[in-house]
């Protein structure tokens, strides 16, 4: 009884704090709409905010006040871009999620509901909750980079066909981005963003460098460098792309062979810890039981 009352008070206080933060965000939004209505003199059509929108607003409000390390902001922003999150609020939402997870894990381990309260154990859990969102973001970025890397060879082949058919490089990039929207959406999104930068007036070299920086892949960096040098020195774009396509095919085949060569080493651990014990029990178990049954009566009493 002595442990249940403080736990209930703590959980109630946590719920009230979360509700107050969410209420603060929604009230500020309502005040802003009301002021805008007074300025323009017309009514604003309000839509009921979804649960996901309220949660995003809460994380944004919390992330704006969460502590940040100035040395890691650039790395986190780059990792968010590599994972496909380019919104201006992505960094703030990420810090809000990180801070929320850390506080939630600390509160869970500090309350005497599940485990015995231990301040060091709770601080360790808080540190783990602070690190987990970064690990999840890195995993998402790696998965997206892998998908882009697998689709790059097909994109270069289609680019070669488009250039040899008479299209310019800018039109060929637009065509490739449109054609790959269904099969390779991640790479298609990056290419179409580069074409939008070209339409906005940015130089081709800058757009290609931004494409390499957004993806963070060495293969796209080499492709961008090749296209920039081809444009600079006036060489044949189709010939350079065909040679680069063959290089990409060779690299992909080498990566597949490397992954196949690592399979034997990776299978050692599941074989030793999962399969071999079951085989030993099935193969040696009956013999061991018979041996014990024969040996025990023969022992001197």
pLDDT at 142 (0 to 100): 93
Q: How confident is the model at residue 144 (pLDDT cuts 50, 70, 90)?
A: very high
Residue 174 within a domain: yes
Q: Domain total for the chain?
A: 1
Length of the chain: 301
Residue 208 within a domain: yes
pLDDT at 38 (0 to 100): 54
Q: What is the CATH number of the domain that holds 160?
A: 1.20.81
Helix (H, G, I), strand (E, B) or coil at 32: helix
pLDDT at 22 (0 to 100): 47
Calculate the alpha carbon distances from 23 to 18, 26, 96, 104, 160 in Å: 9, 5, 16, 19, 55
pLDDT at 96 (0 to 100): 86
Closest by Cα among 209, 215, 196 to 152: 215
Residue 164 within a domain: yes
Count Cβ atoms within 10 A of the Cβ of residue 63 and give its class: 0-12 exposed, 13-18 middle, 19 or more buried.
buried
pLDDT at 32 (0 to 100): 46
Residue 72 within a domain: no
pLDDT at 117 (0 to 100): 67
Residue 83 within a domain: no
Q: Looking at the predicted structure, is the pLDDT value of residue 64 above 70?
A: yes
pLDDT tens for each residue of 83-113: 888 887 888 888 888 888 888 888 877 776 6
Q: How confident is the model at residue 300 (pLDDT cuts 50, 70, 90)?
A: low
Q: How much is the average pLDDT of 149-169?
A: 88
User: Residue written as tokens 């399979």?
Assistant: 263
Q: Looking at the predicted structure, is the pLDDT value of residue 69 above 50?
A: yes
Range(s) of the domain holding residue 182: 145-259
Q: How confident is the model at residue 46 (pLDDT cuts 50, 70, 90)?
A: very low
pLDDT tens for each residue of 201-244: 888 889 999 999 988 888 899 989 998 888 888 888 888 888 88
pLDDT tens for each residue of 232-278: 888 888 888 888 888 888 888 888 888 888 888 888 888 888 888 88
pLDDT above 70 covers a percentage of the chain that reads 79
Q: What is the pTM of this model?
A: 0.70
Assess contact for 99 and 63: CB atoms under 8 A.
Answer: yes
Q: How far is CA 300 from the centre of its chain?
A: 68
Q: How confident is the model at residue 37 (pLDDT cuts 50, 70, 90)?
A: low
pLDDT at 262 (0 to 100): 86
Mean pLDDT over each residue of the chain, to the nearest integer = 79
Residue 230 within a domain: yes
Q: How confident is the model at residue 42 (pLDDT cuts 50, 70, 90)?
A: very low
User: Residue written as tokens 């703030």?
Assistant: 92
pLDDT tens for each residue of 118-134: 778 778 888 888 888 88
Backbone φ and ψ for 199, nearest 5 degrees, come out as -65, -30
Q: Looking at the predicted structure, is the pLDDT value of residue 33 above 80?
A: no
Closest by Cα among 228, 229, 225 to 217: 225
Residue 199 within a domain: yes
Residue 150 within a domain: yes
Q: How much is the average pLDDT of 141-169?
A: 89
């Amino acid at each position: 009884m002595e442990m249940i009352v403080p736990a209930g008070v703590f959980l109630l206080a946590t719920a009230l704090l979360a509700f107050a933060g969410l209420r603060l965000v929604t009230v500020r939004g309502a005040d802003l709409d009301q002021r805008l209505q007074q300025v323009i003199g017309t009514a604003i059509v309000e839509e009921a905010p979804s649960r996901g929108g309220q949660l995003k607003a809460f994380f944004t409000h919390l992330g704006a006040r969460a502590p940040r390390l100035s040395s890691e902001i650039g790395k986190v922003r780059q990792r968010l871009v590599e994972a496909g999150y380019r919104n201006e609020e992505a960094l703030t939402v990420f810090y809000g999620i990180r801070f929320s997870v850390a506080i939630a894990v600390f509160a869970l381990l500090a309350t005497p509901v599940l485990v015995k309260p231990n301040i060091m154990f709770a601080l360790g859990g808080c540190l783990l909750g602070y690190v987990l969102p970064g690990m999840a973001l890195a995993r998402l970025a790696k998965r997206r980079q892998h998908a882009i890397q697998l689709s790059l060879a097909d994109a270069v082949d289609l680019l070669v066909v488009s250039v040899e058919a008479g299209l310019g490089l800018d039109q060929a990039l637009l065509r490739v981005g449109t054609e790959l929207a269904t099969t390779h959406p991640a790479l298609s999104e990056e290419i179409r963003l580069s074409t939008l930068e070209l339409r906005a007036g940015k130089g081709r070299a800058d757009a290609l460098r931004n494409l390499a920086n957004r993806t963070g892949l060495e293969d796209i960096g080499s492709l961008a460098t090749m296209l920039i040098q081809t444009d600079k020195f006036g060489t044949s774009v189709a010939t350079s792309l065909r040679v680069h396509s063959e290089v990409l095919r060779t690299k992909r085949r080498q990566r597949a062979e490397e992954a196949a060569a690592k399979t034997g080493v990776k299978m050692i651990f599941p074989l030793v810890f999962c399969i071999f014990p079951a085989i030993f029990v099935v193969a040696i178990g009956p013999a061991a039981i018979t041996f014990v049954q024969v040996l025990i009566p023969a022992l001197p009493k």
